[in-house]
Amino acid sequence: ATPHLDGKHVVFGQVIDGLEILRVMEACGTAQGKPTQKVTIRDCGQVGREGMLASAPKTKKARKEPTEVRALHILRKHKDSRKPSSWRQPAITCSREEAAAIVGQLRQKLAPLGGPTGWGSLKKKFEELARQHSDCSSAKSGGDLGLFGRGKMQKPFSEAAFALEVGELSDIVDTDSGVHIILRIK
């Protein structure tokens, strides 16, 4: 018998595309062999049989990239930043390496909280650390930058934010403003 997932064939025992969605669904849990939450797959990226192509959902490649994302960030400025001062310090004297080390330590605290089951706790901890450590004025709102479109932020920041999945934490991102970590929330 061929394995199935919601009526779809599974190739070599794995879903080829959308494995992260499957993991989120599995993380919802079961009780007595039944799902504890209702899960709806809105677009599985399936291409229909010949003759059905026009009505089939768009494939992943054909889907539009988001025009806006919402992200939280933590910024640590350094003496070579384009504006080496912040709302918490009138003059920033640390080196780029020192700023990156601080951001790296913060990222290490956050990384274990990620994944489908830790999304809420990751966001909460990120906001807490942003309030304590970020040199950006957005620290007062937990690092929340709100919605922004492509090209509205410095290029390395924008590219990193748009490359993330919702709930994903970036690696360290370097810009003229300083050193960041980003958490995409929408």
3-state secondary structure 136-177: CHHHHHCCEEEEEECCCCCHHHHHHHHHCCCCCECCCEEECC
pLDDT in the model for residue 115: 66
Mean pLDDT calculated for residue range 101-126: 87
pLDDT in the model for residue 66: 86
What is the separation of C-alpha 134 from the centre of its chain, rounded to a whole number of angstroms? 18
8 Å CB contact between 77 and 91: no
Mean pLDDT calculated for residue range 154-178: 95
pLDDT tens digits for range 40-88 = 665 555 544 444 444 444 444 445 678 999 999 999 999 999 999 999 8
Residues with Cβ within 8 Å of 1's Cβ and at least 6 positions away in sequence, in order, are none
DSSP 45: -
In terms of pLDDT, which residue wins out, 17 or 28? Answer: 28
3-state secondary structure of 178: strand
Phi, psi of 151 (to 5 degrees): 80, 0
CA distances from 119 to 10, 110, 115, 137 (A): 27, 11, 6, 24
- State yes or no: pLDDT of 92 exceeds 90: yes
What is this structure's pTM? 0.65
pLDDT in the model for residue 62: 44
- Sketch out the chain's domains with CATH numbers: 4-55 (no CATH), 68-184 (3.10.50.40)
**For the purposes of burial, counting CB atoms within 10 Å of the CB of 101, is it exposed (0-12), middle (13-18) or buried (19 or more)?**
middle
Residues with a catalytic annotation lie at 73, 136, 154, 177, 180
